[in-house]
Structure 1
């Protein structure tokens, strides 16, 4: 199996797992709140992954970052939710999503750097 085909397989497997996890969270926390939750949690996890990735197996980043977290987070549902709101709440929701996502990524990466030597 070539390196490229291993990467594609890792992304595909991770995407399936991340998508299933996203569906599960959406079942527990429906609507915009669920979308916001998975996106913020996904951002925090990518912050951790960016710090840890150099220490992990070469397939960890495509599997976890592109696959699992790509399948778990959902910009399309975020955008659809904003369109459905359709007024000032859409702008507030998008701004909150970006602000919380960036904050979660930075906080998780910083905390991981402090914990992992």
Structure 2
């Protein structure tokens, strides 16, 4: 058996197929290809910058609005508002085209960064656990149920609003230059 007759194994799955490139070709292709999007420093920087801004705004709001009757109204409002804005943002971006270039940068900065830092599942979970520990099971259950329901409805409403806005403002087509 010569090298030309050798069966090549896929480097990740182990499947055999004579049509696959040799290992040296795979290594060369891997070195020549750009880093995956989640490892690009510019994208990570956008998420970090947005996350810092969103977290700062959330903290300011949560410190300024006290619970009402034990109900953590600030975190509830933050999570519902964030769900609405995220639904609208992602729908508007999707209506404008594929997740690349400027749309990807906006999604990472605002969607993942700002809204990821602004909304808070951990505070929601902590508040619910604290209400349960304090013997306020009714408020804890109401808080958990309303947060999930209102968040889902807010996301849906954000998508609907964005769809209507997207229909009203059709994307401008660039005229082809001769």
Q: TM-score normalized by structure 2?
A: 0.61
* Greater percentage in helix: 1
- Partner residue, 2:147: 97
Instruction: List structure 1 runs of 4+ shifted beyond 4 angstroms.
Output: none
Looking at CA atoms only, which structure, 1 or 2, has the larger radius of gyration? 2
| 1:76 and 2:112 aligned | no
Q: State the Cα RMSD in Å.
A: 1.5
**Deviations, residues 79-103 of structure 1 (Å, cap 9, x unaligned):** 1111111113212210100000001
- Partner residue, 1:11: 47
Q: Structure 1 CA distance, aligned partners of 2:103 and 2:162?
A: 18
1:1-117 matched pairs, under 5 angstroms:
4-31=40-67, 32-54=72-94, 55=96, 56-86=102-132, 87-117=137-167
Deviation at 1:70, TM superposition (A): 0.5
Q: Structure 2 CA distance, aligned partners of 1:102 and 1:59?
A: 25
SS at match of 2:149: helix
The answer to which structure, 1 or 2, has the higher relative contact order (CA under 8 A, 6+ apart) is 1
Deviation at 1:112, TM superposition (A): 1.2
**Deviations, residues 9-45 of structure 1 (Å, cap 9, x unaligned):** 0000000000011012112213411000100000000
Deviation at 1:65, TM superposition (A): 1.1
Q: Aligned pairs, how many?
A: 116
